Amino acid sequence: MDATDQQALKQAHYAVLQDFYAHVMERTGFDAIALCSGRQGFYFHDDQGPAFRPNPVMVQWLEQQHLAENCWLVITANARPVLLFLQPEDFWHASIQAPHHMASFFTLEVFAEGQLLLERLDELLSAGGTRKTAQIGEHHSAINPGCTLNPPNVIHALHFQRACKSEYELKMMRDASALGAQGHLAAAEAFAQGASEFEVHLAFLQGSRMNEWQLPYGNIVAQNEHASLLHYQYQERQTQRFQNSLLIDAGANASGYASDITRTYLGPRCYSDEAADLFENLLTRMQGHQDALIAQVEPGASYVELQSAMHRSLAQILADTKLITCSPEEAFDRQLTVPFCPHGLGHLLGIQVHDVGGQQLDIEGQIAPPPEPYASLRLTRPLAEDMVITVEPGLYFIPMLLAAKRAENAPINWLAIDSLTPFGGIRIEDNVRILTKGSGVENLTRDAFTRVQEAQS
């Protein structure tokens, strides 16, 4: 895509945003919406802190390289948005440069001093007398007496809108998928050569060309039994004697938009050939399991019903591989599959990895909580065209969760489970864009792997 095409996508993206914000102001009675980019926090009693993460709604408006602290975007219904950009003169840190090339989208005003910016903000928010303004940002004192900080009716609307992506946003997510695929391919190659968790992590960073602070979430790089910890957060430096499996859940970031990809591999040095054969069989079946679930994704589909379908299919896999000693129907009815996959099938994806609005039924903020026994399901609203969601079925051997089933003498093949426990578990995760009804999905993840592999060959 050339620069002219990308500029056209941006123009259309901003037109949609401005129309939507005007609609939100009309229905909520606000005259303006003021977005603050946010500011870096610091650790307790320290002058250091985590990397700056901007206000997510600001990410829809500004490219990543221009997301600086303490900037403001003021949006009114009948005028161009005004971007107040703080670009201080500094010899300690490099200043983020103002987006002068985006002056066709905003009225851009650049300030070297924060106080001057705030004075100008006060002027804007007081223009024409008392202006009723919704201020969206971190919880600090409102800048202007006419501001309402994070009014729920505005927040609900902004969260609901983010689920369906513009073509510009989809372009960013394709880019994030490509970077993620590059990282995953490098990580898989390192693991095949016997790398430790830490070395696999470094291979992902190098392949994706990401620094750690740029990642949309901390990499999960789990070998062997660590794969049974759903959000395993460490990376062992030492290479293990047995490398039974690798579960790597890692994504990339492109201009503030995330990819979220998981792959699971059989290891190069397994402790048992028989157990390795069974695990490899499960890997193959889990890929077919995911394929069948993705085939059911379409506008209007219920993700709650897909969650249930995931557990029915998982029960069939457990029965077919003789990991349970009862019928699939009995296993589903008795919820025997739940400890084997305690998380939800997927979630909305976009600016945030677990993007907002997944349980929100409408622009008013009505919530649909997940049903029991699927309390961890993050997506309960009906699926719609141009949503980007994850589809990530799993099968894990988690001693903590299986202990209760063992104690009640559940119909589970415990000898087989014990042989698989050193492998931890399996998760396969793709990011898919929902197309028009009857057209299936655009699988951002698999398309990215194909493009990267073709480029590397």
Is the pLDDT at 78 greater than 90? The verdict is: no
Once rounded to an integer, what is the mean pLDDT over residues 342-363?
A: 97
What pLDDT, in 10s, does the model give residues 311-324? 999 999 999 999 99
φ, ψ at 203 (rounded to 5°): -65, -40
Token pair of 14 as six digits? 């901003």
Strands 243-250 and 261-269: antiparallel
Give tens-digit pLDDT for 175-203. 999 999 999 999 999 999 999 999 999 99
What local confidence, expressed as pLDDT, does residue 130 receive?
A: 65
CATH 3.90.230.10 region(s) of the chain?
Answer: 167-456
Kindly calculate the radius of gyration of the chain based on its CA atoms and give it in whole angstroms.
Answer: 24
Distances in Å between the Cα of 423 and the Cα atoms of 98, 230, 246, 393, 430 are 50, 13, 8, 17, 22
Start-end of CATH 3.40.350.10 domains in the chain:
3-161
* Single-letter code of the amino acid located at 224: N
Q: Which amino acid is at 40?
A: Q
Residues with Cβ within 8 Å of 200's Cβ and at least 6 positions away in sequence, in order, are: 187, 190, 191, 221, 223, 235, 246, 248
Band (pLDDT 50/70/90 cuts) for residue 7 is confident
Please check the confidence at residue 420 and state whether its pLDDT lies above 70: yes
* CATH number for domain 3-161, candidates 1.10.4160.10, 3.40.50.1370, 3.30.43.10, 3.40.350.10: 3.40.350.10
CATH class of 167-456: alpha beta
- Amino acid sitting at position 307: Q
- The mean pLDDT of the chain is 95
Indicate if the pLDDT at residue 18 is higher than 80. Answer: yes
| Distance (Å, whole) CA 83 – CA 62 | 10
pLDDT digits (tens, 9 = 90+) for 22-46: 999 999 999 999 999 999 889 999 9
Can you give the pTM of this predicted structure? Answer: 0.95
- pLDDT at position 129: 65
Question: Phi/psi at 250 (nearest 5 deg)?
Answer: -150, 140
User: What confidence score (pLDDT) does residue 73 get?
Assistant: 97
The CA distances from residue 184 to 109, 156, 209, 384, in Å, are 41, 35, 12, 29
